[in-house]
Chains A and B, each alone.
Chain A
Amino acid sequence: MSRSTITIDPVTRIEGHAKITIQIDENGHVEDARFHVTQLRGFEKFCEGRPFLEMPSLTARTCGICPVSHLIAAAKACDGILAVTIPRPASMLRQVLNLAQLVQSHALSFFYLSLPDFLLGMDEDPKVRNLFGILAKFPDVARDGVRLRQFGQSVIEELAGKRIHPSWVVPGGVNEPLTESRRDAILSRIPEALAIVRRALERGKRVLEDHREEIRTFANFPSLFMGLVDDRGLLEHTDGKLRIVDAHGKIIGENLDSTRYREFIAEANEGDSFLKSPYYRPLGYPAGIYRVGPLARMNIVDGCGTPLADQEWAEFRDLERGAVLSSFHYHYARLIEILYGVERMEQLLLQRDILSKHVRAQANVNNAEGIGIAEAPRGTLIHHYRVNEDGLVEWANLIIATGHNNLAMNRGILQAARHFISGRTLTEGALNRVEAVIRAFDPCLSCSTHASDQMPLHVSVVNQAGEILDQKIRG
Chain B
Amino acid sequence: MITGPRIKTLTIDDKPVGAREDETILTIARENGIRIPTLCHLEGLTPIGGCRLCLVEVKGIARPVAACVTSVQEGMEVTTDSPRLTQYRRMVLELLFSERNHVCSVCVSNGGCDLQDLAQEFGLTHLTVPYQYPRHKVDASHPWFTLDHNRCILCTRCVRVCDEIEGAHTWDLFGRGMQARVITDLNQPWGSSQTCTGCGKCVHVCPTGALSEKGKSVREMRKSREFLPYLRLMRQGRQV
Contacts and interface: CB of A to CB of B under 8 A. Distances in A.
Instruction: Determine whether A and B are in direct contact in the complex, meaning some CB atoms lie less than 8 angstroms apart.
Output: yes
Interface of A: 49-51, 53-54, 56-58, 61, 165, 167, 170-171, 175, 362-364, 390-392
A167 B140 CA distance: 22
Overall SS of chain B's interface: loop
| Residue picked from B138, B141, B191, most chain A C-beta under 10 Å | B138
Given A53-B215, A56-B218, A170-B217, A61 B105 contact: yes
Contacts of A167: 217-220
Given A57-B218, A175-B220, A362-B215, A49 B137 contact: yes
B137 A58 contact: no
B109 to A, nearest CB: 12
| Residue picked from B140, B146, B217, most chain A C-beta under 10 Å | B217
A325 to B, nearest CB: 42
B106 interface: yes
Contact of A364 (B137, B215, B217, B219): B215
Contacts of B108: 53
Nearest to B216: A53
Interface in B176-200: 191
B59 interface: no
Contact of A170 (B139, B143, B220): B220
A70 B215 CA distance: 20
A390 to B, nearest CB: 4
B208 to A, nearest CB: 15
A263 B141 CA distance: 33
A51 B216 CA distance: 10
Contacts of A58: 106
User: Could you say which interface size class chain B belongs to?
Assistant: 10 to 19
10 contacts: A49-B138, A53-B216, A57-B105, A57-B106, A167-B218, A167-B219, A175-B217, A364-B214, A390-B140, A391-B140
Contacts of B218: 53-54, 56-57, 167
Nearest to A58: B106
A123 B218 CA distance: 49
Contacts of A392: 138, 140
Q: Across chains A and B, which 6 residue pairs bring their CB atoms closest together, nearest first?
A: A390-B140, A170-B217, A57-B218, A57-B106, A167-B218, A167-B219
Overall SS of chain A's interface: loop
| Residue picked from B140, B191, B220, most chain A C-beta under 10 Å | B140
Interface string B92-134: 0000000000000110100000000000000000000000000
A57 B103 CA distance: 11
Interface string B196-227: 00000000000000000011111110000000
Nearest to B135: A49
A64 to B, nearest CB: 13
Nearest to B143: A364
Nearest to A163: B219
A149 B139 CA distance: 44
Contacts of A165: 105
A51 B138 contact: yes
A455 B50 CA distance: 56
Contact of A171 (B105, B106, B137, B217): B217
A171 B108 CA distance: 13
Nearest to A391: B140
B215 A51 contact: no
Contacts of B148: 51
| Residue picked from A51, A56, A364, A391, most chain B C-beta under 10 Å | A51
Nearest to B107: A54
A362 B148 CA distance: 21
Contacts of B191: 390
A457 B30 CA distance: 62
A51 B108 CA distance: 10
Contacts of B220: 167, 170, 175
Nearest to B219: A167
Contact of B146 (A51, A61, A170, A171): A51
